[in-house]
Structure formats: structure tokens, C-alpha cells
Chain A
């Protein structure tokens, strides 16, 4: 790993916005926070994956992966991050290096690839992603990008996050570092207003940003840039002129918010677009911070009036489901912010939370869960649940529905219980007041689908698809209980980290 990358990783781990980090001694902090992954028991993406996830929603640039076919050929076009314009971000670009590139180096191929992209597609910028093999053989993507940028007169941004550098979450932050180092502050906006904000860590999955944007538009608040959902290169390059930063997912790109505060004095706050009360709180925060930064004080009144109208409308629309959903028990396997913001949302729909995973949640996240769930919240916070336990819980009908990411869907489906995707592969947007109604509608639709009666009818001849007895465990069941989570890649996941 190059010296610059090592320094970058160390810097990312010095994160002042991270309270865990601040709680450590000087010496401990130096060690960073990479946990060694456990071979044969690891799941999830790598640093390259994380960087790509964080930056791919910048829709008008070409994302070029410098490496062998596995890195892009096996992964492209697998996320639903919506664009209101350019679709070039959905094209997969890769140098697809061969044996000769491994031996002689792939820098020339990379340079030519950048040229081909600029000649054929003419994007405002090219993002170049480093991968394991080309990092190992020593291709200097920073140098190639610099040279290409000079030669072609276009920004060519190196994203130095090879897979072996660490897990997905580190990759998110390294992707953010590339934005900080090479993009933000390089372009001046055509004009500025006292109502300009940046939204950071919102990826516009299935267009959720657009469930929120009309509210901001109505208040006269301008999204100067969204990093990175439906993002445009030039907007992000001029993000340094915003008055306020909103962090949507602090686990993924908090370094952008903290560094923009240091460099440009832009205050930030962490908010959520999930759930009615969270949405209102977010609007209030934006308004009050903008007023502190010089916006007209009447913004706060206008915001309150909007909240009143929107909340009333949303509750009215939820009420039609509330009666039938009253007391339905939900098992929530997600992480981070959603471990509490969705809890609040579900309670608003009259549902009971039988468990929420907190494996990837911060201390604040856990505090917020306690605040929302009140007495007995501890009992419902699940640290690390194996699919076997989830399966048992659903099979024994201790929950009526599971909300999770796509990879654990089969736990619910094979237990013949309803399941709803709330992570990145979902097809329904759950943002803002609109999205909350949508979520409750979808839960209702899932639980009351008559198919559940059908699939639970036992076969008349008694044999109900008995397992084929493929595996005879040679170890105790105690050990076996940990099987599937990691071994099958089914451990709970969060978005977008």
C-alpha cells in the first residue's frame, strides 16, 4: 500500500466527529480502528466497493475501474440510485487488465481508457478507482490521473481505495476523501443564496431525495449539492459555498462534514429523512441553522407551518392502515441511523418492535432507541443475531414481519413469513412524509397478502419438503448456531456503508 494511502487511512481514523475515537487514548487512536476480518467467516464488501457506493451516485461522471474483470464485471449496475438527468454513471467502465498488464503494469492501458471515455462520452469528469491487483503491481493512478487531466483539460479524479485496504465502511470514507481533495472548492457557483445547503450521505435510492426536495423547494431552500445522490460534478465542486451541511448517514461520509467545517466554516448537523417526526426535526434544524447563518428569521415560521400541514396529511393517510396494523410485531434487522429512525416510523403506524439490530449503530443511535422505545428498550436491542435465530423467531411467529436487507430475505421467506426490503436493493422509496406513508402501505401489503395462508398449508401426504439431509454436523449445535450469518453472507447489513 502506498505511503499516501496509509497516511490517508490514518487521517480518516483520526476523525474528530467520531465519539468512539475521541474516547480513546492518544496511543490507541494511532492504531486506527480496522478490525482484522476473519477468514472463512467474513461477509460484505471491500474498500473498493465502499468507495464506489459512496461516489457512484454522482450521475454525470464516468466511473472507471482500474483492475481485472472481477471488480466491475461482477458488480456493475446493482444499485438503485436514481438520476434526474445523465445516465452515464450506470455504464460500467473498466480497464479489464490482462496478464501482460500484471507483469508490465497497466498505467498505459489506464491512460488510453481515460482518453477513450473522454472522446466517446465527454463527461464533465472521470473518476478512476484503484483495485487490489493494480495497487499490488504498483500502478500509480494519481500520476496517471494528473497527466490525463492536464492532457485532456478535464478533471480526472483518482479514488485510491483498493479492496484489501479494509472493509466497505473505510472505502466510503476514502471515497469521500477523494471528493475533499480533488473536487470540493474547485468551481464557484453561478450565484449563491442565504438558503443554500449540502446534503451529505444521501444516495437517492429509488428517488427518495425527490420525496424531500419539493418540501425544501417550497421553503426556498436550495440544495446546492447532494453528495452524492443524483449529484452533478459541478455542483459538488461548488459545495464549499453552502451555508449548512446536513449529514444523512454519519457512518459513511462524516469526514466530508467535519473537514468542510474546518476548511470553510460550514456548520453541520445529523438528520434523517425516515419517519414523520424525524423529517419534521430535520426541517427545523435546517431552518434554524440557516437563520443562524444569516437567512431571514421568518423561515422558521414558514417551516413550522409547512410541518403542521404535512404532518396532519401524513397521519391522516397512515390512519387508514393503523387499525389493521395495530399490534403487529416487527423484527427490524438493519443498522446505523435506521435502527432508530425506522423504529419511530413504525411506532407511528401502530406497530410493535420485537427487535432492532444495533450491531452497526453508534452510542447516540442506541441512546435514541432508548428514548423512542422507553422502558424495556434494552431487551429489544439485538447485538448480533444469526439467521438461525431470526429464522426461529419468525418460524415460531414471535414476529409478524421482518424488515431487513436483501441478503437475509430468505431467512423470512423460507420461514414462510412476510419480509420487506428496507436496504439498498428495495424498489419503494421511503423518504420524507411521502415515504413514511409508502412504508406503512408496503408493510400492510406484505402482511395481508393472502399468499401467506397458501404457503403455510401443509402437504396432504405429510412430506413438506423435508431437508435433504445434506449436512451431518460434526460439531455441537452450539457452534452451529453461528453458521449461517457469516458463512452464508447473511449477516445484517446497513446502507450505505
Chain B
């Protein structure tokens, strides 16, 4: 039931936050044969690109409209038009997704209008879907960009269709890894349901070796799949950030929805499986009953190390709720919670307060904590404070295998508990023989009376124990 407080600082030190256009581009990377484009100057794209490459260790398709000083003033129509034509010619994507940036929003480019004009002038673009989302850098954060991108995809592509009983739409939040998505798909399919995942980075960013080069995303949700979401019987959203998209689906196709604020931990997964069971009319498969009992055992084994520990966490709202919720259930105390942007998820966080701040705030508050939880940019703070760091979310650039971490479902929750507990076990202090010296008084007490003549020197230790 956390209260949200905004930072009063003028200067952000060691940013936790990343920009909206990057979050939106990330969502578009989960569409098949797509080329995300940032409408801004070249650097806007290159910074985001570098982060994505360092996190996923993959080639990332991401383009720029390469705005310069003149087009920044006069407007970017020509750049958008040139970008569309160039990208279509070079990479032949099925979807071109355009995200605005601080630069073009400040100028006030009317991209919707530009796209209408470009379509009229260039009939050859008819074979390419174009999706636009407004994402100024100076508003919101990564998660907001992702949220708006899902909504933009839904609004531009989905039409109502006759309902297919066993088809559901799964909207994963930006905090889920490719393997998290695979895990959820497997769970849903185990009930005989057919999920349409939107967006699906498990196809495009899961680290596989293809036999050829593509200029676009390789794998992900296809346009046909997106369109067929209009026929789904239900929408399952993972994280508050998917609510806007789920509600757009409800408005367009009348699809009922349920948002699962997190899928890390026991009770929330019980609710998820229960929902799937109701939707499908099938009992929970034996596989998951077994995993559930394994998770229970993991919680019992892990709680010795997590109980009573103080945690400083800095993360995007949904990720923070997913981790903070589980940590709280495992007996940890969330003494410092830093996030990037406003979200309804904060209201559910079992902490007193959420600060919309930066990693300097984490470093200051983290001094008295047992564990720091944030992305790789927290490594300097952890080093300076000599505290263990649980690397979570995006970007994690100093570890490999990020795409394959699973922390949802019973199995993923179990993994997460083990990871946290093991970090704490590593830090258990080892005691030495001299750690508990006998007090001078006690020492004196052990002496023979005739040897007690020389008075004890007054030491701070003696004074303290007196």
C-alpha cells in the first residue's frame, strides 16, 4: 500500500529510468518481420540499440529518421517519407513501427498526418503496415512506452471477429524475458488453450542461430496473429502496463480481461492456473501440481536466508511489484523502493513508500540494507557499498543468458527464490576463534585470589561491558 513520492532533486544522478521510445521499440521487436524506427536524431536510436545489443547479445534491427538541425525546425515529413521508402527497399519488413522522440515531439511533428500523406504519395507502401506511437522522451519511462506501443498495435490492427472458444490473448509486460513468455505459453497450452502472444519477444530475442541474415526482426507475433486476436475468448494481461492494451481489446472486440499484477510467488500463480482451468474447463495438469509442491518446499528452504532481510530495490513499477511481492512473502522487508514512473502497481506494493528517483537514492538508502535489487547500472553502487546485487530487468549487460532466465510460474518463482537465497548464503559471515573474547572481568574471575593484586587496566571494552 505504498505512497508515491516524487524526487525533489533537480539533477538525476545515475539514472534508473530509460526513455519511452526505447520501451516502445522493445515492444515492436516482438512483432515478426518488423522494423522499429525512432523518429529523432541518430543518437536517440544508437543509444537504445547499444543497450539492447548489450542485454540480449543479438543483432537488433532498429532504425532512425536521422533528423538534423534543419529538419528539426522545419518538420520531419521528408525524413519519415525517406525512412519508409529506404527501409521498405532494403529490408522489406511487413511492419514499420515509428516511435516519436523528445526532439520531434518538442517541434510537434504531426506524424499521423505525415503517414497519410506518405501513403497517398507512395502507393508502393501499400504492402507494408505502418504503426505509429507517440513517445516523447521527457514524459514517462520505458514501461510507459511499451504500454502505449501495445495499445497502438491493438488499435491499428485488431478488428472484432467471431469468438474462437479456445483462443486467448496473452499480453506480457516488458519485464518478462523471452523464456518467461515461453513458460507462460507452455502453461496455457497445457490446458488445451491456444494463446496469441502480443508482443512475443520469445521468437525474436531468444538467442538462436539462423542460417541467413534478415534486415528485420526474425520471429515474433505475425500480423495474422495480431489480427486474429479479435477472435480471442479472453485477454490475460501480465502486469499493470498491459491494462491499457487489454482494455483496448475489450473496446474493439468485446473481449473480457483479467490483469495479473504479477506471476512470481505462490498465490498469484494459483489464481492464474485457476483462471485457465475455468476458461478451459480442464483441471490443473499434474505437472503443475508437482511444480507447486516443489515451490512450497523451495519457500521453506529459502526463508531461513530471506527472513528479516532488508532490501533496497530500484525497478520499473511492474517488475518492482513482481519482485517486491515475492520478497515480502519470503519475509524480507522492503526498506527502500525506487521506481521510474507513476503506475497503479505501486498501490499494491507491500512497502511504505515508493520514490520516483534514481540510483543515487538507492545508493544512499542501500547503506543499511542486506541486498540491492536493480539492473546492471546498480553495479557501481553495489561495489561501493560492498553489498550483494540481484540483477533484474533491463538492461543487464554484464551477465550472459538474460533471455533464458525464467521467473514466472511455479518453476520461475522457485528459481528466483534460490537465486536470492544463494546470494545471501554467499554473504553469511564466517566467525573466527577470536570473535568472542572473554571480558577482563570474567578473566579476573577465573584467577586465584592471591593473584588478584594488580588492578586491571581500564579498557573501553571493560567499561562497555561494565
A93 contact from B11, B66, B69, B86, Cβ within 8 A? B11
Q: Interface segment, A73-81, A254-262, A335-343, A345-353?
A: A73-81
Give the residue of A67, A69, A470, A482 whose beta carbon is less than 8 angstroms from that of B218: A470
Query: Does A39 sit at the interface, judged by CB under 8 A?
Result: yes
How distant is the Cα of A120 from the Cα of B9 in the complex, in angstroms? 12
Check A91–B14 contact: CB distance below 8 A. Answer: yes
Q: Are A49 and B47 in touch, CB under 8 angstroms? A: yes
CB contact between B139 and one of A37, A98, A114, A464 (< 8 Å): that residue? A98
Query: Does B46 contact A489, Cβ atoms closer than 8 Å?
Result: yes
Q: Which of A40, A46, A116, A489 is B65 in contact with, Cβ under 8 Å?
A: A40
- Contact present for B89 and A479 (CB under 8 Å): yes
B112 within 8 A of A: no
| Contact across chains for B86 and A40 when beta carbons are under 8 A apart | yes
Identify the closest chain B residue to A5 (Cβ). B69
Bound together, the chains give a CA A28 to CA B98 distance in angstroms of 36
User: Across the interface, do A99 and B139 meet the contact criterion of CB distance under 8 Å?
Assistant: yes
Say yes or no for B208: interface residue by CB 8 A criterion.
Answer: yes
Q: Which of B30-44 contact A (CB under 8 A)?
A: 32-33, 35, 37, 40-44
Which chain A residues border B136 with CB–CB below 8 Å? 68, 99
User: Which of B59, B79, B101 is within 8 Å of A488, CB to CB?
Assistant: B59
Task: Given A73-B19, A133-B106, A470-B32, verify A42-B64 contact (CB < 8 Å).
Answer: yes
CB distance from A165 to the nearest CB of B (A): 6
Q: Which of A70, A97, A472 has the most CB of B within 10 A?
A: A70
In the complex, what distance in Å separates the CA atom of A479 from the CA atom of B85?
13
B50–A94 touching, CB < 8 Å: no
Q: Do residues B37 and A465 form an inter-chain contact, with CB atoms below 8 A?
A: no
**Docked complex Cα distance between A40 and B44 (Å):** 13
- Given A73-B15, A73-B19, A487-B87, A166–B10 Cβ distance below 8 Å? no
Q: Which of A107-154 contact B (CB under 8 A)?
A: 108-110, 112-117, 120, 132-133, 136-137
For B212, list chain A residues within 8 Å (CB). Answer: 467
Would you give the 0/1 interface string for A182-212, flagging 1 where the beta carbon is closer than 8 Å to chain B?
0000000000000000000000000000000
CB distance from B175 to the nearest CB of A (A): 17
Q: Mark contacts of A12-52 with chain B using CB atoms, 8 A cut-off: 1 yes-contact digit, 0 otherwise.
A: 00000000000000000000001011111111111111000
B88: min CB distance to chain A, Å: 8
Given A38-B66, A70-B19, A96-B12 in contact, is the A44-B42 Cβ separation under 8 Å? yes
Instruction: Assess A487 versus B12: contact at CB under 8 Å? Given A132-B72, A137-B106, A471-B216.
Output: no
Please tell me if the beta carbons of A410 and B58 are within 8 angstroms of each other in the complex: yes
Contact between A164 and B72, CB atoms less than 8 A apart: yes
Q: How far is the CB of A261 from chain B (nearest CB, A)?
A: 30
Contact across chains for B46 and A487 when beta carbons are under 8 A apart: no
**Interface assignment of B365: CB less than 8 Å from any CB of chain A:** no
Q: How far is the CA of A387 from the CA of B91 in the complex (A)?
A: 13
User: How far apart are the CA atoms of A471 and B95 in the complex, in Å?
Assistant: 11
Does B103 belong to the interface (CB within 8 Å)?
yes
- Which residues from A are CB-within-8-Å of B59? 387, 407, 410-411, 414, 484, 488, 490
Instruction: Report yes or no: B42 in contact with A37, Cβ–Cβ below 8 A.
Output: yes
Q: Are A136 and B86 in contact (CB under 8 A)?
A: no
Give residues of chain B (346-366) contacting chain A, Cβ–Cβ below 8 Å.
Answer: 360
CB distance from A218 to the nearest CB of B (A): 33
Residue B265 CB within 8 A of the other chain = no
Count the A residues whose beta carbon is within 8 Å of the partner chain — how many? 94
> Contacts of A96 on B, CB cut-off 8 Å?
12, 15, 17
Which residues in chain A, 1-17, are within 8 Å of chain B measured between CB atoms? 1
Say yes or no: B203 contacts A71, CB within 8 Å.
no
- Residues of A near B9 (CB, < 8 A) are 116
Q: Are A486 and B90 in contact (CB under 8 A)?
A: yes
Does B213 have its Cβ within 8 Å of any Cβ on chain A?
yes
Complex Cα distance, B46 from A48, in Å, reads 11
- The answer to whether A69 touches B141, judged by C-beta atoms less than 8 angstroms apart, is yes
Question: Is there an interface contact between B33 and A40, defined as CB atoms closer than 8 Å?
Answer: no
Q: Which residues of A contact B41 (CB under 8 A)?
A: 46, 132, 163-164
Cα distance A406–B56 in the bound complex, in angstroms:
13
Closest B residue to A46 using CB positions: B43
Task: Tally B residues with Cβ within 8 Å of A.
Answer: 91
Q: Answer yes or no: A416 CB below 8 A from chain B CBs.
A: yes
A167 neighbours in B (Cβ, 8 Å)? 42
Judge whether A468 and B82 touch: CB under 8 Å: no
Contact of B10 among A113, A133, A411 (CB under 8 A): A113
| A78 to B12 Cα, complex, angstroms | 18
Q: Are A43 and B106 in contact (CB under 8 A)?
A: no
Closest residue to A413 on the B side, CB-wise? Answer: B209
Residues from chain B with a CB closer than 8 A to the CB of A75 are 43, 47, 50-51
Q: Name the CB-closest residue of A to B128.
A: A474
> Which has the most chain B C-beta neighbours within 10 Å: A45, A69, A466, A490?
A69
Chain B min CB distance to A80 (Å): 11
Q: Which of A42, A387, A414 has most chain B Cβ within 10 Å?
A: A42
Which of B73, B137, B141 gathers the greatest number of chain A CB atoms within 10 Å? Answer: B137
Residues of A within 8 A of B107 (CB): 136
Question: Is B54 close to A, CB under 8 A?
Answer: yes
Interface residues in A447-497 by Cβ distance below 8 A to B read 464-468, 470-475, 479-480, 482-484, 486-490
Instruction: Kindly report which residue of chain B lies nearest to residue A64, judged by CB atoms.
Output: B11
Q: Nearest chain-B residue to A113 (Cβ)? A: B11
Q: Are A39 and B80 in contact (CB under 8 A)?
A: yes
- Contact A468 B218, beta carbon cutoff 8 Å: yes
B67 at the interface (CB under 8 A from A): yes
Chain B residue numbers with a CB within 8 Å of A464 are: 211
A87: shortest Cβ distance to chain B, in Å? 8
Q: Does A251 contact B (CB under 8 A)?
A: no
Q: Is A388's CB within 8 Å of the partner chain B?
A: yes
Most buried by A among B19, B41, B220, B377: B41
A410 and B205 alpha carbons, distance in the complex (Å):
13
B304 at the interface (CB under 8 A from A): no
Query: Quick check: is A92 within 8 A (CB to CB) of the other chain?
Result: yes
Partner of A99, one of B89, B90, B138: B138
Q: Does A90 contact B (CB under 8 A)?
A: yes
Q: How far is the CA of A411 from the CA of B64 in the complex (A)?
A: 21
Chain B residues near A39 (CB, 8 Å)? Answer: 64-66, 78-80, 82-83, 86
Q: Are B213 and A163 in contact (CB under 8 A)?
A: no
Bound-state CA distance A179–B211 (Å) is: 48
In the A-B complex, the 4 residue pairs with the smallest Cβ-Cβ separation, listed nearest first, are: A46-B43, A40-B83, A113-B11, A40-B86
Question: Can you list 23 residue pairs at the A/B interface with Cβ under 8 Å?
Answer: A36-B68, A42-B63, A42-B66, A49-B43, A69-B17, A69-B137, A70-B21, A74-B48, A76-B377, A92-B14, A94-B11, A95-B10, A108-B10, A112-B10, A113-B11, A136-B72, A136-B106, A163-B40, A164-B72, A387-B59, A411-B213, A480-B92, A487-B63
